[in-house]
């Protein structure tokens, strides 16, 4: 059997009882460390599970899926995923490959940022399409995702923004070399995301376009959701560009033009009052 097991968002104990029982009995267990991370680290997981884990980095996940699945038709193999297994399309591909090979599979679900984001008090059914904000470079500054924010605003919906992470990312210079050189891990913060959004707003205003939101638009910054060090802050987009929520992982919510009174009341406990 091939298992994809969600680990939740916080610490080693967030795994389900079913998931833990499977992990303890598998022949091989891989820890996916590409699409997201747990703040506790691989060593703490191994200590809690009482067994070694094989780190599945970007190269192994994208290029070595067949190696991970190898032998799963005869022995139990598991892939551990931060959050929920279907929180990233990468993991859907594993299921399709397993079906092609005639390998039985089982998915063990867990909490993901897509539902845990409700911790801020905004109602989940009031969210529109989720977007991802990528890191910009000097030569690559995409903003196509901004149109989805505008559509959500027009539909009076909130927008969850998933922020970019770079783990084992090769340098541009090394792509033409035989040996890859990797950049240090990099995780986008809410302040960096807010700053990029402000730049997009300014650029579109100059072009006479409808931006849908402004620097005064209310938003929520979230950090390390599900962990003991979880942080939430509510403020304007302009103020969010200066907020420090500490270490990864961060997410950003652009609040829609309408809030239920209960949503407004709950958000007040996280509000930053300056520069509103």
Residues of each annotated binding site for S-adenosyl-L-methionine: 9, 84, 87, 112-113, 163, 225, 250
Binding residues: 9, 84, 87, 112-113, 163, 225, 250
The pair of three-digit structure tokens given for residue 87, joined into one six-digit string: 């929180």
Dihedral, 28, 34, 36, 41 alpha carbons, nearest 10: 60
Could you give the CA distance from residue 48 to residue 55 in angstroms, rounded to a whole number? 16
Q: Work out the number of other CB atoms within 10 angstroms of the CB of residue 119.
A: 16
All residues at 6 or more sequence positions from 38 whose CB lies less than 8 Å from its CB, including other chains: 7, 9, 10, 11, 12, 45, 82
What's the CA gap between 164 and 33, in Å, rounded? 14
| Residue that is written with structure tokens 């990797």 in the block | 182
Half-sphere exposure of 163 (CA within 13 A, CB side): 24
The whole-angstrom distance between residue 272's C-alpha and the CA centroid of its chain comes to: 24
Assigned token pair, 129: 């399409």
Residues in Cβ contact with 15 at an 8 Å cutoff, skipping those fewer than 6 apart? 5, 6, 7, 8, 23, 110
Instruction: Phi first, then psi: give them for residue 171, nearest 5 degrees.
Output: -70, 155
Q: Which residues 6+ apart lie within 8 Å of 180 measured at CB?
A: 170, 171, 174
Angle between helices 42-49 and 17-25 (to 10 degrees): 80
Write the CB contacts of 202 (distance below 8 Å, at least 6 apart in sequence).
none
Contacts of 184 (CB under 8 A, 6+ apart): none
């Amino acid at each position: 059997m091939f298992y994809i097991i969600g680990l939740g968002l916080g610490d080693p104990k967030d795994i389900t009882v079913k998931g833990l029982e499977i992990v303890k009995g598998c022949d091989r267990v891989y820890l996916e460390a590409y699409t997201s991370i747990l703040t506790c680290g691989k060593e703490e997981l191994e200590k809690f599970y009482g067994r070694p884990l094989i780190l599945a980095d970007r190269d192994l996940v994208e290029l070595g899926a067949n190696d991970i699945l190898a032998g799963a038709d005869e022995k139990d193999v598991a892939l551990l995923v931060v959050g929920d297994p279907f929180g990233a399309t990468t993991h859907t591909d594993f299921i399709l490959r397993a079906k092609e090979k005639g390998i039985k599979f089982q998915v063990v679900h867990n909490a993901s940022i897509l539902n845990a984001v409700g911790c801020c008090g905004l109602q989940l059914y009031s969210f529109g399409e989720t977007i991802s904000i990528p890191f910009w470079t000097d030569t690559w500054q995409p903003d196509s995702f901004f149109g989805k924010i505008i559509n959500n605003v027009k539909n009076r919906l909130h927008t969850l923004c998933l922020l970019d992470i770079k783990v084992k990312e090769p340098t541009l210079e090394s792509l033409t070399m035989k040996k890859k050189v990797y950049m240090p891990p990099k995780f986008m913060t809410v302040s960096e995301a807010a700053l990029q959004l402000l730049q997009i707003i300014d650029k579109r205003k100059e072009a006479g376009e409808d931006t849908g939101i402004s620097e005064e638009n209310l938003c929520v910054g979230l950090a390390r959701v599900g962990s003991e060090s979880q942080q939430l802050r509510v403020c304007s987009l302009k103020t969010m560009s200066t907020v420090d929520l500490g270490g990864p992982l961060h997410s950003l919510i652009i609040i829609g033009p309408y809030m239920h009174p209960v949503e407004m009341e709950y958000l007040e406990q996280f509000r930053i009052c300056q520069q509103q």
